[in-house]
Structure 1
């Protein structure tokens, strides 16, 4: 896991005032009352601390002097980072390229906004009259024309409303240059849908100032009116400020698959329940590193970081205390990866599921311990090249078969389980919303591409996740105990291609999309192919394992 540290670039005063001067909707008070035990001698006025933090501490770290010039204070002693300080982090000079928006090709699908792991590309739908009034206030004609070019006339937000006799809204896509790492996943997602409304361009001396000016307008123009947010089009949730609870500024790798899943979970939960009704218990892993590298915090909700092995146990304590206070409506989410849920923390997870408590779990399944340099775990696929399972003359990579945690979770009493990916936007959002609604333990395990450990390009998180589903490497399913008494009534494989077949075939060529086809696209399986592309016995064993797992799911769902 790479922790990005951009070279010093002072933030402009206007940007600092916008972020530092905005209080995160009363969350300081909630954290102060619900998350902090009595301090004794460590008395802390949290609201005052937050203001001082943004001005003094963030400024010192941005200047590169924080470690030398700042004394240890009460907040550091309490391991406290105020909400949303990641908004002040600047990644402008990490990548040489940045996305450019072509309004004439945009349909307003919101896929680019949804899939961005860094909250670096955002959208709004603003009524035409209001937008024109705001644009007319810009005195510089060149700047005004540049900003106007960011707003598209789409059928979804403009023509449909015009036909109903209502005012149409123009749809705008804006890139925050201080958050964009140049991974180009937004471009890949848009191209995959056939729209080609985004393209990467080289940065020059004018690019960053121009993009900052455009993004400042985006912040100032106001929120998307609720009438233009179609709740049936689930991707529209990120048009709402209530859904943007992950501000970016995290030090995750370019294109990180985990960050997208976390953003989407928070969006679906915040949109329905509000920021004040969400709390996170995070297990040790990449998410706790890039999500709380002092002094930067991307979250606008209360959170606490725990150890590999006990995050579900900590969540049980939080749930019990919240219920004692009458806060049953608040949603507790446990976030963890392979080690926290599959391996060392499995016993705590199992106990939590058996407790029947209303706690949700988001499993970030990278099939490897990314945080410790790519060690193999029980989530690792057979034949995968990883630390502790390196491919060599004596060892053909990972020998053991992969543990299917979602299947194990189904066997716990009355537990909601979903297996999904962030690339399948509607399936993911429906899984999160159903988990929140379910009055008991819920597990949502998500395929999360890890670029450096999987050996794939920075823009491939969504593509590889889709391919993992198509190849039966990671099938989609939802297991809802409310659907009936029998497993086949509770288990749905909807969302997978060719549900009744062993393998999916491409419609135009008839080519089989099996596990071997998936493995050919990732560096972690490269050593399982010889110079002519022939597969090893180990990889054929891995393919047989994936097919057996898929047939087991078919049997349980009553498909075969």
Structure 2
């Protein structure tokens, strides 16, 4: 569907994997190959020696047929000495890259690569298979890179409750779905709820999991205490019980438990094996946009966060109802034009993060991938690891914003938003030792008004009513300064104990 696609220039590649990290459609992926695997690769496959992995080869592969041609990958590529490792080139002239991509997809992620490059890092996360791929999102979408990253970190054991909106459209345009499975057949369990009750829907998923796992845990305890159980079975049972609330390690223990119990004749063992898909601790996520989280579904979001349960809420904040034509939401900022705010929104943006932090026991983070690649993956990993409710609010540039640079510069727009203070990155972790609040954004230095002028949602008001625009834009900037000052106070309030 793209006229131009990214073409890899291996001599300029530093193997940072940023291109794969920001790709909205999971069409560009790094591959680690052995010499034996490379010998079976399609003709024309380019590789370079893999940094930190002697004897291993590295390649960047591109799906020519699935790429939307947005150029986000080439935009963020640092390259070498001023030369990019990715350049956009004619799709038809480079269609052979599809065979290389298909070949790379069949190569399993190697344990030694995962051990060397930790999954909770920008580079390491991209060696994991994305379990969200080839979605129907707009070229350059700001939402899907976040969702894709979550599936790379936890997709083999995650449940997703998805609010109606853009994320449910690119997330499941029936009868197809972009959510997929890994080589073991493991992938996210996804379901779409109504707009107004998605948080409660996800909470119901969590309670159902807990009830099933509680029953299975009791059965495992029964087997472990049985005089007839072998030493191997007892050991497997104990490892499962010891890691019951430990995420990925419990998944490994679950596999060992099933292997030990398969073939056993007791009815309890048979029931455990029959329900093996429910053994491992699941990672429960609730996805949705700001129209859902700030507006229609806010009561449910608040209720679920207040529950104290181990559930993760991801808000794709486009500051507008993206999927229904661009209506104003409570996330829309002062002066922005949108449907129902054609003359510029008069009131400021709701502080959803501040409301959640007021509980004191909710993990809260604001992230913007293009502004800080490391902070994004760190916040997502921390939120999932936190044994209580978590809220992540992710800044997501949208086609409704009318970014003058184009959606190929969505990641750049995220960086500019943080640089000028329009958006702030931070993390509040109640479980952290020492400082519980971390302000990851530096003191704003960018031109705030130039940033607003770079998007049609603001610039339209400036052209239609310059006097009103000047007034509202000044108010917008003043509110941003107040917000940053408030965040700096939180640094003092929740500093080292």
TM range (shorter): 0.7 to 0.9
What's the counterpart of residue 40 of structure 2?
Answer: 134
What's the counterpart of residue 440 of structure 1?
Answer: 388
Please state if 1:215 is matched with 2:90: no
Task: Find the aligned partners of 2:328 and 2:118 in 1 and give their Cα distance.
Answer: 40
Residue 437 of structure 1 deviates from its aligned partner by: 1.0
Task: Find the aligned partners of 2:29 and 2:351 in 1 and give their Cα distance.
Answer: 35
Residues 98-118 of structure 1, C-alpha deviation per residue, up to 9 Å, x if partnerless? 111100000100000010010
- The structure-2 alpha-carbon separation of the partners of 1:527 and 1:482, relative to structure 1 and needing over 3 Å to count, comes to same
Among 97, 100, 109, the alignment partner of 2:7 is: 100
Task: Find the aligned partners of 1:321 and 1:463 in 2 and give their Cα distance.
Answer: 41
Task: Find the aligned partners of 1:244 and 1:410 in 2 and give their Cα distance.
Answer: 31
Residue 213 of structure 1 deviates from its aligned partner by: 2.1
Equivalenced residue count is: 417
Task: Find the aligned partners of 1:179 and 1:407 in 2 and give their Cα distance.
Answer: 39
Task: Find the aligned partners of 2:423 and 2:385 in 1 and give their Cα distance.
Answer: 25
Residue 195 of structure 1 deviates from its aligned partner by: 5.2
What's the counterpart of residue 269 of structure 1?
Answer: 154
Among 83, 87, 96, the alignment partner of 1:199 is: 87
Task: Determine if contact 1:363/1:444 at 8 Å carries over to the other structure.
Answer: yes
Task: Determine if contact 1:354/1:413 at 8 Å carries over to the other structure.
Answer: no
For 1:417-456, list aligned pairs within 5 A. Answer: 417-423=364-370, 424-456=372-404
For 1:162-173, list aligned pairs within 5 A. Answer: 167-173=54-60
For structure 1, the residue ranges without an aligned partner over 5 or more in a row are: 1-93, 139-143, 162-166, 505-512
Task: Find the aligned partners of 2:91 and 2:377 in 1 and give their Cα distance.
Answer: 34
Tell me the secondary structure at the aligned position of residue 324 of structure 1: helix
Tell me the secondary structure at the aligned position of residue 541 of structure 1: helix
Task: Find the aligned partners of 1:219 and 1:556 in 2 and give their Cα distance.
Answer: 45
Please state if 1:312 is matched with 2:258: no
What's the counterpart of residue 348 of structure 2?
Answer: 401
Please state if 1:492 is matched with 2:438: yes
Residue 217 of structure 1 deviates from its aligned partner by: 2.7
Please state if 1:543 is matched with 2:449: no
What's the counterpart of residue 54 of structure 1?
Answer: none
Instruction: Tell me how large the CA RMSD over aligned residues is.
Output: 2.4
Residue 441 of structure 1 deviates from its aligned partner by: 0.5
Residue 453 of structure 1 deviates from its aligned partner by: 3.1
Task: Find the aligned partners of 1:386 and 1:463 in 2 and give their Cα distance.
Answer: 23
What's the counterpart of residue 363 of structure 1?
Answer: 315
For 1:507-522, list aligned pairs within 5 A. Answer: 513-522=446-455
Task: Determine if contact 1:124/1:239 at 8 Å carries over to the other structure.
Answer: no
Task: Find the aligned partners of 1:245 and 1:253 in 2 and give their Cα distance.
Answer: 18
Q: What is the TM-score with the length of structure 1 in the denominator?
A: 0.70
Q: What is the TM-score with the length of structure 2 in the denominator?
A: 0.79
Task: Find the aligned partners of 1:333 and 1:233 in 2 and give their Cα distance.
Answer: 17
Task: Find the aligned partners of 1:478 and 1:524 in 2 and give their Cα distance.
Answer: 28
Task: Find the aligned partners of 2:79 and 2:455 in 1 and give their Cα distance.
Answer: 19
Residue 455 of structure 1 deviates from its aligned partner by: 3.2
What's the counterpart of residue 237 of structure 1?
Answer: 124
- The structure-2 alpha-carbon separation of the partners of 1:239 and 1:364, relative to structure 1 and needing over 3 Å to count, comes to closer
Please state if 1:345 is matched with 2:297: yes
Task: Determine if contact 2:142/2:410 at 8 Å carries over to the other structure.
Answer: yes
Task: Find the aligned partners of 2:333 and 2:84 in 1 and give their Cα distance.
Answer: 34
Residue 382 of structure 1 deviates from its aligned partner by: 0.7
Residue 556 of structure 1 deviates from its aligned partner by: 1.6
What's the counterpart of residue 77 of structure 1?
Answer: none
For structure 2, the residue ranges without an aligned partner over 5 or more in a row are: 181-187, 215-244, 246-280
Residue 515 of structure 1 deviates from its aligned partner by: 2.4
- The structure-2 alpha-carbon separation of the partners of 1:192 and 1:356, relative to structure 1 and needing over 3 Å to count, comes to farther
Task: Find the aligned partners of 2:345 and 2:177 in 1 and give their Cα distance.
Answer: 35
